[in-house]
Amino acid sequence: MRALIIVDMQNDFCPGGRLAVPGGDEIVQRINKLTECFEHVLLTQDWHPPGHLSFASSHVGKTAFDTIELDYGTQVLWPDHCVQDTPGAEFHPQLRVDKAEFIVQKGTRHGVDSYSAFFENDKRTATGLEKYLRERGYGTLYLAGLAADFCVKFSALDARLQGFDVVVIEDAVRGIDVQGSLDRAWEEMDAAGVRVASADEV
Ligand code: VGL
Ligand code: ZN
């Protein structure tokens, strides 16, 4: 069985937001149309407490897009974004959320970022998504949303590691592109056996 996972379609990742992904809002209507082709639709929501460790503002002398080393590896520092219960963390106002059967909130722990919908960035702490999908027999996952080179990519790679069949809908994602991260993301996903399709093919 297949499911559509709509990643982080939130105000802060759209133009005008705190961590705007270029063209992030252009894919909203295409994603809405996609939901009509799926019986099962899930959402992810970046959902940080104020002062989250992934925010540059939490580190003296750092600015957005600097990196730091944490015990779980290199962490990119972001502008404050998707702070719990703020307008920036809400889904895009035009996104159809009525079909969503499950919403994964991630990045909720102060000291650990979470790009992937499956595991926090420590690569150990599970969000519960895998169990949810398995128990319902969803074996093929279609991914759309933001950002192609961070949350979409890490979700796709973790899904492959766990044995899911994964299809990224290439015209229903947009990337941030920090220092070549977008090209690298497509390469890494390809190498991991992630399939790519257009919205029309779905
Ligand atoms: C994301 C950076 C920080 C994403 C979330 O949704 O891709 N990127 N938090
Ligand atoms: Zn975030």
171 is catalytic: no
Whether ligand 1 lies within 6 angstroms of the CB of 80 is answered as no
pLDDT at 195: 98
pLDDT for res 174 = 98
Give yes or no for residue 150 CB within 6 A of ligand 1. Answer: yes
Ligand 1 pocket test: which of 151, 155, 173, 189 has the largest number of ligand atoms within 8 Å of its C-beta? 151
Coil, strand or helix at 111: coil
Model pLDDT, residue 44: 98
Tell me whether residue 8 is one of the annotated catalytic residues: yes
Taking CA atoms only, the protein residue closest to ligand 1 atom 8 is 150
DSSP annotation string for 121-156:
TTS--B-SHHHHHHHTT--EEEEEEE-IIIIIHHHH
pTM (2 d.p.): 0.97
pLDDT at 199: 98
Candidates 5, 6, 7, 8: which one to mutate for ligand 1, based on the most atoms within 8 Å of Cβ?
8
Distance 144 CA to ligand 1 centre (A): 14
Nearest CA among 47, 11, 20 for reference residue 177: 20
Name the closest ligand to CA 9: 1
Task: Name residue 127's amino acid.
Answer: T
| Residue among 8, 12, 46, 158 flagged as catalytic | 8
76 within ligand 1 shell (Cβ under 6 A): no
Q: Dig out the tokens for 5 from the structure.
A: 């996972």
Terminal Cα-to-Cα distance of the chain (whole angstroms): 14
State whether residue 182 is helix, strand or coil.
helix
Q: Do 68 and 61 form a contact (C-beta atoms < 8 A)?
A: no
Tokens of 43: 């959402």
Tell me which of 12, 14, 106, 149 is the catalytic residue. 106
pLDDT by position in tens, the chain (length 202): 999 999 999 999 999 999 999 999 999 999 999 999 999 999 999 999 999 999 999 999 999 999 999 999 999 999 999 999 999 999 999 999 999 999 999 999 999 999 999 999 999 999 999 999 999 999 999 999 999 999 999 999 999 999 999 999 999 999 999 989 999 999 999 999 999 999 999 9
